[in-house]
Amino acid sequence: MKFKRILLKLSGESLMGNQKYGIDAACVESYARQIKEVVEMGIQVGIVIGGGNIFRGLSGTSKGFDRIKGDSMGMLATVINGLALSSALDNEKCKNKVLTAIRMEPIGEFYSKAKAVECLESGSVAIFSAGTGNPYFTTDTGSSLRAIEIEADAMLKGTRVDGIYTADPEKDPTAVKFDKITYDEIYNKGLKVMDLTATTMCKENNLPIVVFNMDVEGNLKKLMEGKEIGTIVY
C-alpha cells in the first residue's frame, strides 16, 4: 500500500506502558518520535487516542455511572491523552494541533473537516480528541469517522500485538496470525478487532485498516516504507 495521508489510532491502554494507570512518559515519547519520523517522510498524519488508561465509559456504567455521563468522562480522558501526545510532539519539534469534538477552547480548537485538512496539508499532525462528541460511540468509531472525513488512505490501529489473530495471542499460544482478512471474515469469525459500528463504517466507505504493533519502535516507519507488517483488513 502507498500512503499519503493516514489516520493513526492509538489505544489509551497502550499509553500506560508498564504502569497500571495513567500515562507513561517514556511510552508517549516513543510514539512522538515514531510519528515525527513519518511526518518527515512527507506523510500527513491524523491521530485518535482512546481514553482507557484514565476512564472507560462502558466499564464505568457497570459500576453504576450513568452511561451518558460515563461516556462524557471517557471523552475527556481522550483529551488528556491528546494533550500529553501534543506536548511530547512539541518536545520533538514536530508541529501539531489538538482538535476537539466538543467545544473546549483554549484547550483545543473545535473540530471541522476544513480545519483538519488545512492542518494536515500544512505539515502539522492533527490530534483528534473527545471521540465523536457523542455518547454511545467508541473511539474506534471516532477513528473510522475521522479517517473517512479526512479521506485518509488507511486507518492504522497501533496496538500491543503485531496483527489480528484467530484468538488473543496474549492468552492463547496456539493463536494464528492473519496477514490479510476481509471485514466480513472479522464479523463472521467474531474477532474483536474493533466494535461493529467502526468496522461497518470502514467497510461501507472502503477504508482499509492495518493492525500492527506500535510498541516496537520503528514499526510505523517500516509500514510507511511498504514493509509487510501487521494485518490488513480490506
| Whether 199 contacts 187, CB under 8 Å | yes
Please state, in angstroms and rounded to a whole number, the distance separating the CA atoms of residues 135 and 60. Answer: 13
Q: How do beta strands 125-129 and 96-100 pair?
A: parallel
Q: How do beta strands 164-165 and 177-178 pair?
A: antiparallel
* Mean of all residue pLDDT scores within the chain: 95
Q: Phi, psi (5° rounding) for residue 32?
A: -60, -40
| Per-residue model confidence as pLDDT tens digits over 8-26 | 999 999 999 989 999 999 9
- Confidence check: pLDDT of 181 > 90: yes
- In DSSP notation, 64-104 reads T--HHHHHHHHHHHHHHHHHHHHHHHHHTT--EEEEESS--
List the domains of the chain with CATH numbers.
Answer: 5-233 (3.40.1160.10)
Q: Which residue has the higher pLDDT, 91 or 195?
A: 91
Query: Whose grid coordinates read 516504507?
Result: 225
Nearest to 163 by CA among 218, 90, 82, 229: 229
Model confidence at 104, pLDDT cuts 50, 70, 90, reads very high
Kindly tell me the burial class for residue 181, based on how many C-beta atoms sit within 10 Å of its own C-beta (0-12, 13-18, 19 or more).
buried
Using a pLDDT cut of 70, give the percent of the chain over it. 100
- Confidence check: pLDDT of 60 > 80: no
- What pLDDT was estimated at residue 59? 78
